[in-house]
Structure 1
Amino acid sequence: MDQPGVNGISPTSGVSFTPTPAPALAMAAGEIQPIQPEPGKEAPRWTSTPRRHEATFACYARWADRILHPF
């Protein structure tokens, strides 16, 4: 029987995605708390940097390469 591997990748059938609804993820984390506006505006500027984008792209490129070229 075909078992999903890491991140939903099955070695014989390719990639399978099972999205989790956003409300279920929020409920799992607890109650949603309000934040102050200024730190909320600052967060995207802090997390969105060229180095983070490069690292994320490199990670997905390696992931895709393993799927497309397994050997």
Structure 2
Amino acid sequence: GFPVAAIAVRPEIVAKFGGDMRYFNTFGGNSVAIAAAQATLDVIRDEQLVANAQRVGAFLRKGLGELQSRL
């Protein structure tokens, strides 16, 4: 893996960024880290991994429900 950091904040909080604070994470500003993160996000999108996880999860839930009913 490659170290990457991210943050999710409300718009009013991020609007203050730059005025109140300049830097708040360990890995921010690293071009290689951003390239690695983008490549990962590209694979998740291109290989439709979220949809696959939903399909597999539904299959597992159904199977576990059937086992629960029987046992």
Give the TM-score category using the shorter length.
Answer: 0.3 to 0.5
TM-score of the superposition, structure 2-length normalised? 0.36
Structure possessing the higher relative contact order (Cα contacts under 8 Å, 6 or more residues apart)? 2
Normalised by the length of structure 1, the TM-score is: 0.36
Tell me which structure has the larger Cα radius of gyration: 2
More strand by share: 1
